[in-house]
Structure 1
Amino acid sequence: MTVRDYLNSLERYLTSIKSTKELKEHILDNNSASYLKGLRNLLNFMDYQELDTINGTPIERWRSSIKLKKSNARMIYLSDEEVQEAYQHMDEDVKILFLAVAYSGARLTQLLEGLEHLGESIILGDIARFPLESKGSKKGFWCYIPSSLLSDLRKYKSEGYDTVKKKLKYGRVTGATLRKWNLNFLISHGVQESIADFIQSRVAKSVAASHYMNLLAQGDREYTRICEELCSVINDGKKM
């Protein structure tokens, strides 16, 4: 969808809506899944264009007013206790990767590929981030982790995706559900959805360079803010 398409959609459907209250009333009668998803995408696009408010109300409040319908897919939400128990039952050789997935929220496939770029890590006090792809991309994905994990991650020898995927499974805990657990932790600790997406290596390639740098700065700041508490959930004994 082009910029003009988004602007036309905004003019056609939302011209008369001046507040989040009016938006909530509007979607009571216009609540198809595709329409709600389109509205969310529209707000995401405006966020990427660095439009922070609409009629004086933060973009995040507008976005939170649009509740997407749950799909029929089974959603699994892990408790902190499940994550702790799973970690204690991990084989020693895979514990460091378990922590990396839990603390970063990165996809397992991306994380395994990203280990090749640990030499390009940027250390920012108690946190570090390393690229999940080659240097060539100026607006690439980053993997955020506590800097205390770097030493052990550099020593880790991957056995391949399929083997690692099986080793990370314990009860309802998998690489995928750890990613969801990480996202829930970020959101519940006050990290904005767009920043949480960025921290989890989920950002549109088409995002403007200036906004990308803003996301990067906010990602660094927010991950630094929540890192110690995130680590305390598993309490693996590594000091920050």
Structure 2
Amino acid sequence: MTYCVGLRLKSGLMFMSDTRTNAGVDNVSSVRKMYTWEKPGDRLITLLSAGNLATTQTVVSLIEEHMKAANERNPSIMEVPSMFAAAQLIGETVRDVIKTASDGGLQSEATFSATFILGGQVAGGQPRMFLIYPEGNFIEATSDNPFFQIGEHKYGKPILVRAYNEDMSFEEATKLMIVSFDSTLKSNLSVGLPLDMQMYERDTLKRGFEKRFLADDTYYRRISEGWSDALRLAFESLPDFQMN
């Protein structure tokens, strides 16, 4: 299992993903789930993945292989004219990979399931973000639906729903995402540190600030401990039930 979040802000986009993967309690390791393709001045495209690791890695490998053998009929992700076209390209790749893997007949398609968050900007367009399903179809983030989560999202969602604001600065959004991830980490052992974070500032068309939060990161520990203390104080401030 995993947990990934993409936020749509007025100032740009933010991404965060955990790195834990496991094949049973005795086989836990860390794998990067955030991938970025960049052509400074032309495009910045970031992909977050959740689901079967073999499936997600195959999708990413195929995207990169297509970059080496692109043609007019089959452009690579570095040549598509828009973020919508990039979402179509990845959606088709996901659908083909899952169909090919499931054609063996030994396991259901669900075994090979994978979900992705795609975000970025291509020159001439606006920053856009999409949620891509295992079937290859996708939806776009809007003002009414301004963030996407994939993987083990139920524990971290209430934080985002209550505190998200599209006018947030990147610094405020970082704090929000860490609280969301910390709540998930404390509730589900299949999600774990390190956490990878990336900021994309609107219209820059290049990588923004990136950071990997390790278990001993000072800021992460301050937010984690501070949030626990704040929740405890808030709970204690609520009126007790009266048995009348």
TM-score tier (shorter): under 0.3
Q: Which has the higher contact order (CA 8 A, sep 6+)?
A: 2
Please report the TM-score for the alignment, with normalisation by the length of structure 1: 0.24
Name the structure with the higher strand share. 2
More helix by share: 1
